[in-house]
Each structure stands twice: as structure tokens, then as C-alpha cells.
Amino acid sequence: MFIKNYFKEVFSAIRSLLKGMRRTGYYFTHHKEIITQQYPDNRDTLNLPDRFKGEVVMPHDEKNEHRCTGCTACELACPNGTIKVITKFEINAEGKKKKAIDKLVYHLELCTMCNLCIVACPSDAIVMAQTFEHSVFNRSQLTKILNNPDSKIMEGIE
């Protein structure tokens, strides 16, 4: 009886091992079911979803105009001081003083991509871009100025 049970156990053990081996053998012979992506060779065909949070950017239109009013809502919403808004006063055509941004400094090295600044922005001036390869050789390259040089605020945005 003992010997019978012993051999029974041995055979069930071998069967359980073969079951697992059969599964790995299946994938060994079925290459089409393998889903590995060959990054970075597939960079050209890589599609990231629209909502992917890669980095904060400020879109400009063809006339080099942005939508930022310099209200500092993003600066207040940011949990770790990633965004600094430096404002200046511009004199417009009617001779009135108007607040505008001089620089919108963005520290990518501090950013945690929490999306709170995008939600806080009342005029949709900043959005998340789908870039994700952020490695640089010098840390100072990660501090970015989001508004283009000589850019202006779009008309009609208060």
C-alpha cells in the first residue's frame, strides 16, 4: 500500500510539471502571441494616449500668441514649487497698464505629473504633452521657460 501511494505521488508530481512545461512550450512555438514591444526600435510607430502626462507645455498659435494671463493659479496649485510665474506690466494700445507674463519657469526635475496645474488653469493656457524621454546630460536643461520669446497673449483672454 505504501509503495503504491509512493508511485502514485511520483507520477502526479511529474504530470503537474509536464502540464506547466506544456504551457511554456506552447508559447515557445507560437511566436505571434508574444506581445513584447521592441522599444526603442519602434519609436516611429509608438502611440501614446492623448491624456498621457509627460510634461507641461504651453501651446502657441501661428502668430506666436499664448493664452496665459499670468494669474498664478498653476503656481498656487502646484504641490512642490515646480512652476514660477514671473509677471511684468505691459502698456497696451489704449495706453493702459496690463499685467502679462514675462516668463513662466517650469522645473521638470521637480514635477511629479500630478495634473493639478492643468486643472487649476482658468484659461487652458497649459496642457500636458506626450513626450516621455526626458534624459539630458546637464541638470540645468531641465529648467524650461514655457512661453516663446516675444510671444504675446491672445486677444480676448482676460
Partner 1 sequence: MFEEIGTTTDGDLIINVGPQHPATHGVLHLVITLNGETIRKVEPHLGYIHRSIEKMCESLTYRQFIYVTSRMDYLSSHINNHACAMCVEKGLQIEVPERAKVIRILLDELTRIASHELWWGAMAMDLGAFTPFFHAFRERESINDIMEETCGARLTMNFIVPGGLMADIHPNFQKRVKDFIRLYKSKFEEYNEMVTGNVIFRNRMEGVGYLSKADAISFGCTGPTARGSGVSCDVRKWFPYEGYEKIAFDEVIETGGDSLSRYMVRVREMNQSIRIIEQLIDAIPEGEYQAKTKAVLKLPKGEFYSRVETARGEFGVYIVSEGGTTPYRIKFRSPGFSNLSALDQMARGSKLGDLVAMMGTLDLVIPDIDR
Tell the smallest beta-carbon distance from residue 111 to partner 1 (Å): 11
C-alpha span between 119 and 39 (Å, rounded): 32
Count of residues making up the chain? 158
Of positions 42, 64, 115, 143, contacts partner 1 by CB under 8 A: 115
- Contact pattern from residue 16 through residue 55 relative to partner 1, giving x for each residue in contact according to CB under 8 A and a dash for the rest: xx-xx-xxx----------x------------xx-xxx--
Nearer to partner 1, 43 or 63 (CB): 43
Whether omega for the bond prior to residue 40 falls within 30 degrees of 0, making it cis, is yes
User: Residue 81: CB partners within 8 Å, gap ≥ 6?
Assistant: 107, 110
C-alpha span between 158 and 156 (Å, rounded): 6
Nearer to partner 1, 77 or 100 (CB): 77
Question: Parallel, antiparallel, or unpaired for β 55-57 and 65-66?
Answer: unpaired
The β-bridge partners of 129 are: 55
Number of chain residues interacting with partner 1 (CB under 8 A): 25
Lookup: cell for 89: 506690466
Of positions 6, 12, 64, 141, contacts partner 1 by CB under 8 A: 12
Task: Determine if 114 is a binding residue for partner 1 (CB under 8 A).
Answer: yes
C-alpha span between 42 and 17 (Å, rounded): 37
- Contact pattern from residue 58 through residue 97 relative to partner 1, giving x for each residue in contact according to CB under 8 A and a dash for the rest: -------------------xxx------------------
Binding footprint of partner 1 on the chain (CB under 8 A): 12-13, 16-17, 19-20, 22-24, 35, 48-49, 51-53, 77-79, 112-116, 119, 128
